[in-house]
Amino acid sequence: MTHRKVRFIETAMKLFAEKGYHATSIQDIVEAWGISKGAFYHHFSSKEDLMLSIVKHHFEKLFSQFMNDKPEGESEKKWFIRQIAMQIEGIVSQKEFFQMMMAEQLPKINENIQRYLFAQRARMFNWYCERLIDVYGEKIEKHVFDVAAILNGALREYVFYMMFYSNMLRAEDIAQFIVRRIDAIVVHFAAHEEPLLKKEMIRCFTEIEERERHERKTQIIAQIERLKEKVSSLTLDKKTHHQLHAALDTLEAEFANEQSTPREYVVKGILLYIESQHIQLLSEAIASLTEIVHEYMANHHR
């Protein structure tokens, strides 16, 4: 996403937080941005589309802060505590957005926002389950859905207080406190005790991630096909035509394979090559493809 678009999104979010989503008009937005209404529709198809972009921007910003690979030499538990602390700090640092999200009841704005928010809830829950198994191993697998639900509930409550008393509470202290409670819960699981949350009850969370991943791949492949058509329509030298098509074919193959995850180094390398060609007539299509690919890679690479 370009620096200019990020600035548009953050300015609009502040407007929605101050005036309310429904009370803020497109005219209010373009005046704050210093552009025309026509220019607005060049970037966003509607006010709802703008709000979805705001939501995506802030969630990806949050997830990028703590959904990272474990540093070499760090224990799983210590890294998990740090990740929880970074999650809390990330939410508090974006307090204005999350307060606006709750006040405006964003899922009611339209179906696309509702689906996206549900998908992020599923993504977070599945991540909790994966990390809990990383930390506690086999002894937690039977009850992992219940522990993830307890973890999620505790975090929500402490984040609420952190919003108001950030000068009195530390994210690191909250993270350590919650993980110590999880330690106690895991120790006291009885071998015969049955979990409350069963796999069939949680299936929707795994299925929605799979469905979203498939839909995203389909969108990316469609954009690659459109870009290939644009390349074919341009008057370029034969070598450039061949190299661009070969690069796009390779990129498409990465996303067309349902049995494997696109290789990050391959995807990044191809995008850098395409962008390096500096073909003005393709710049908008390339920027659009790059944005959706980066969003996919951020969502589906843990």
User: What is the tens place of the pLDDT at every residue in 206-218?
Assistant: 676 677 777 888 8
The pLDDT score that the predictor gives to residue 156 is: 94
Answer whether residue 300 shows pLDDT above 80: no
Answer whether residue 104 shows pLDDT above 80: no
Answer whether residue 301 shows pLDDT above 70: no
State the chain's mean pLDDT as an integer: 88
Answer whether residue 91 shows pLDDT above 60: yes
Average pLDDT over residues 231-252: 88
User: What is the tens place of the pLDDT at every residue in 261-287?
Assistant: 888 888 989 999 888 887 887 888 888
Q: What is 3-197's CATH superfamily?
A: Tetracycline Repressor, domain 2 (1.10.357.10)
The pLDDT score that the predictor gives to residue 182 is: 95
Of 262, 250, 249, the residue nearest 217 (C-alpha):
262
Cα(61)–Cα(299) distance, rounded to whole angstroms? Answer: 11
The pLDDT score that the predictor gives to residue 57 is: 92
**Bigger pLDDT: 122 or 78?**
78
To the nearest 10 degrees (0 to 180), the angle between helices 76-93 and 47-66 is 150
Answer whether residue 26 shows pLDDT above 70: yes
User: What is the tens place of the pLDDT at every residue in 40-49?
Assistant: 998 899 999 9
Average pLDDT over residues 115-137: 91
The pLDDT score that the predictor gives to residue 1 is: 65
Cα(160)–Cα(169) distance, rounded to whole angstroms? Answer: 11
Who's near 165: CB < 8 A, 6+ residues apart?
none
Answer whether residue 231 shows pLDDT above 90: no
The pLDDT score that the predictor gives to residue 58 is: 93
The pLDDT score that the predictor gives to residue 33 is: 94
Cα(63)–Cα(121) distance, rounded to whole angstroms? Answer: 12
Average pLDDT over residues 62-74: 88
Average pLDDT over residues 50-55: 93
Number of helical (H) and strand (E) elements in the chain, helices listed first? 14, 0
Answer whether residue 191 shows pLDDT above 80: no
> pTM of the full predicted structure?
0.76
User: What is the tens place of the pLDDT at every residue in 158-173?
Assistant: 999 998 888 899 999 9
The pLDDT score that the predictor gives to residue 302 is: 46
Tell me the Cα Rg of the chain: 22
Average pLDDT over residues 215-229: 88
Domain ranges within the chain, ordered by starting residue: 3-197, 207-300
**Bigger pLDDT: 294 or 182?**
182
Average pLDDT over residues 132-148: 93
